[in-house]
C-alpha cells in the first residue's frame, strides 16, 4: 500500500501509551505491516512515561506520529492529546495490549450499520472468553454487587454478570447490538462528535471516562454498538498493582456518581458491602482459609473512603 493510498482511509489508530514501550511498538509494527484499506494514520500519545516512547522512523507507507504530554494525566487526558492530531472521520482508540490488524479494522468499519456511532468488536481473552464489551450504564446496584467478594464464586453465572452491569445480549448476539456503552480497549469513535462534546473528561484518571463520553455522545443521538462477528484479543490490566487499579476504579466511580448519579448512596452501599465481606472473610479465616480478614477490611475501607489514589 502506498502512502497516498493509506492517507485516503477514514480511520486513525490512536494508541494512548504509558510505561513499557515494547507492546505499543509491537502494535504499531503490526498496523504498519498490515494496515488494510481503512487505516489512514497512527498516533501514539505518550502520557509522560518514565521511559519516553521512542520516535518512530519516517519510512514511507502508513504515517505514524508520536505526541508527548508534559505531565502524566491519565487515560482521558492522553486520548485528548492524541485526538488533536487526528484528521480522519473516525478514530480508533486502542490499548497497546490488544491484538488487531488492519483487516480487523476494515471489518469493524464495514460491519457498523451506520455512522456516527461508537463501535467495539467482541473483545476477548486469549482463551476466547469474552471480556463483556457491551455494558449497562453503571448503577449503585451494579457496583455494590461487584464489590461483594463472596459472590466471586458465582462469577460464571449469567445473572451475576447482568447484576454487575454486563449486557449479556452482546455476548450472545451474532449481529451488531446496541448497548449503553462499550469498554475502551478497542473503541471506534466518530471524531467530529467526540470533539463536539468536548472530548474525554480529564477529571477521571483511569476508568469510567469512556462511559462518561458515551453518555454525553448519547445526547447527540450517537449510539454504542458491539460488533460480535469481529473478535479481538486483549491482555488487560497486567502491568499495574491490583490495589492501585482498584483505587482508580473506585475513585472514578465516585466521580461518575457525582456527575450522573448518587455519590452518597454509592459510598453507603460500598461501606455495607465491605462489612459483609469482612464477616464472610472472618468465618473463612477461622475455618483455615489463608485470608487476613482485618487487613482486607482496612484495605477496602481505605478505598471506600477515598484515601488511596
What distance in Å separates the CA atoms of residue 134 and residue 227, rounded to the nearest whole number? 10
Residue after which a domain boundary falls, among 187, 208, 234: 234
Residue 148 located in a structural domain: no
Residue 27 scores a pLDDT above 50:
yes
What distance in Å separates the CA atoms of residue 111 and residue 132, rounded to the nearest whole number? 19
Q: Are both 51 and 93 inside the same structural domain?
A: yes
Tens of pLDDT along 113-125? 889 999 999 999 9
Residue 172 scores a pLDDT above 70:
yes
Residue 132 CB contacts under 8 Å (≥ 6 apart), including other chains: 161, 166, 167, 168, 170, 171, 183
What distance in Å separates the CA atoms of residue 271 and residue 135, rounded to the nearest whole number? 24
Q: Are both 131 and 215 inside the same structural domain?
A: yes
Q: Tell me which residue range forms the domain holding 299.
A: 242-304
pLDDT tier at 3 (50, 70, 90 boundaries)? very low
Q: For residue 8, what pLDDT is reported?
A: 54
Q: For residue 46, what pLDDT is reported?
A: 97
Residue 215 located in a structural domain: yes
Q: Are both 176 and 276 inside the same structural domain?
A: no
Q: Are both 115 and 12 inside the same structural domain?
A: yes
Residue 5 CB contacts under 8 Å (≥ 6 apart), including other chains: none
Q: Measure CA 278 to chain center.
A: 30
Q: What is the mean pLDDT of the chain?
A: 93
Residue 100 located in a structural domain: yes
Strands 39-46 and 11-17: parallel
What distance in Å separates the CA atoms of residue 150 and residue 246, rounded to the nearest whole number? 17
The pTM score is: 0.92
Q: For residue 21, what pLDDT is reported?
A: 96
Q: Are both 80 and 124 inside the same structural domain?
A: yes
Residue 145 located in a structural domain: no
Tens of pLDDT along 192-239? 999 999 999 999 999 999 999 999 999 999 999 999 999 999 987 544
- The mean per-residue pLDDT over the stretch 141-156 comes to 95
Among 16-25, 49-58, 236-245, 283-292, whose mean pLDDT is lowest? 236-245
What distance in Å separates the CA atoms of residue 237 and residue 289, rounded to the nearest whole number? 26
Q: Are both 80 and 101 inside the same structural domain?
A: yes
Q: Are both 265 and 289 inside the same structural domain?
A: yes
Whether residue 12 contacts residue 41, with contact meaning beta carbons closer than 8 Å, is answered with yes
Please tell me which residue, 145 or 9, carries the higher pLDDT value: 145
Q: How long, in residues, is the chain?
A: 309
Q: Are both 89 and 222 inside the same structural domain?
A: yes
Q: Are both 100 and 247 inside the same structural domain?
A: no
Residue 158 located in a structural domain: no
If you search the block for the grid coordinates 451474532, which residue do you land on?
A: 174
Name the β-bridge partners of 119.
188, 225
Residue after which a domain boundary falls, among 234, 255, 286: 234
| Omega within 30 of 0 (cis) for the link into 72 | no
197-207 burial: b if 16+ Cβ within 10 Å, else e:
bebbbbebbbb
Residue 130 scores a pLDDT above 60:
yes
H-type alpha helices, the chain: 3-7, 21-33, 75-83, 102-111, 140-147, 158-163, 169-172, 191-196, 209-218, 242-260, 263-286, 293-304
Q: For residue 177, what pLDDT is reported?
A: 97
Q: Are both 132 and 213 inside the same structural domain?
A: yes
Residue 80 CB contacts under 8 Å (≥ 6 apart), including other chains: 199, 200, 202
Residue 309 scores a pLDDT above 70:
no
Whether residue 277 contacts residue 246, with contact meaning beta carbons closer than 8 Å, is answered with no
Residue 107 located in a structural domain: yes
Residue after which a domain boundary falls, among 205, 234, 263: 234
Cell numbers at 58, concatenated: 519516517
Residue 155 located in a structural domain: no
Overall domain count for the chain: 2
Whether residue 283 contacts residue 293, with contact meaning beta carbons closer than 8 Å, is answered with no
Whether residue 200 contacts residue 76, with contact meaning beta carbons closer than 8 Å, is answered with yes
Q: Are both 275 and 295 inside the same structural domain?
A: yes
In CATH, what number is assigned to the domain containing residue 173? 3.90.550.10
If you search the block for the grid coordinates 460480535, which residue do you land on?
A: 228
Instruction: Please name the helix (run of DSSP H) or strand (run of DSSP E) that holds residue 43, with its range, or none.
Output: strand 39-46
pLDDT tier at 57 (50, 70, 90 boundaries)? confident
Q: Are both 109 and 222 inside the same structural domain?
A: yes
Amino acid at each position: 500500500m502506498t502512502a497516498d493510498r493509506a492517507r485516503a482511509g477514514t480511520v486513525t489508530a490512536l494508541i494512548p501509551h504509558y510505561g513499557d514501550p515494547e507492546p505499543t511498538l509491537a502494535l504499531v509494527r503490526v498496523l504498519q505491516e498490515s494496515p488494510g484499506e481503512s487505516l489512514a494514520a497512527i498516533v501514539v500519545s505518550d502520557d509522560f512515561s518514565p521511559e519516553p516512547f521512542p520516535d518512530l522512523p519516517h519510512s514511507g507507507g502508513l504515517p505514524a506520529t508520536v505526541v508527548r504530554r508534559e505531565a502524566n494525566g491519565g487515560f482521558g487526558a492522553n486520548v485528548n492529546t492524541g485526538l488533536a492530531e487526528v484528521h480522519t472521520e473516525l478514530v480508533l482508540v486502542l490499548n497497546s495490549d490488544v491484538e488487531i490488524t488492519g483487516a480487523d479494522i476494515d471489518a469493524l468499519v464495514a460491519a457498523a450499520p451506520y455512522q456516527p456511532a461508537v463501535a467495539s468488536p467482541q473483545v476477548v481473552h486469549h482463551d476466547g472468553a469474552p471480556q463483556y464489551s457491551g455494558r449497562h450504564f453503571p448503577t449503585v446496584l451494579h457496583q455494590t454487587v461487584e464489590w461483594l467478594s463472596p459472590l466471586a464464586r458465582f462469577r460464571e453465572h449469567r445473572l451475576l454478570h447482568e447484576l454487575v452491569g454486563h449486557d449479556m445480549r452482546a455476548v450472545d448476539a451474532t449481529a451488531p447490538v446496541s448497548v449503553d456503552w462499550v469498554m475502551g480497549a478497542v473503541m471506534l469513535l466518530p471524531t467530529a462528535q467526540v470533539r463536539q462534546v468536548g472530548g474525554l473528561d480529564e477529571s477521571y484518571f483511569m476508568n469510567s471516562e469512556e462511559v462518561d463520553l458515551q453518555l454525553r455522545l448519547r445526547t447527540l443521538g450517537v449510539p454504542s454498538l458491539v460488533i460480535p462477528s469481529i473478535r479481538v484479543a486483549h491482555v488487560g490490566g497486567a502491568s499495574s498493582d491490583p490495589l492501585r487499579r482498584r483505587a482508580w476504579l473506585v475513585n472514578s466511580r465516585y466521580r461518575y456518581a457525582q456527575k450522573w448519579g448518587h455519590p452518597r448512596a454509592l459510598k453507603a452501599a460500598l461501606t455495607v458491602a465491605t462489612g459483609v465481606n469482612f464477616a464472610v472473610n472472618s468465618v473463612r479465616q477461622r475455618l483455615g482459609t489463608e485470608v487476613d480478614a482485618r487487613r482486607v477490611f482496612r484495605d477496602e475501607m481505605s478505598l471506600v473512603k477515598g484515601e488511596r489514589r
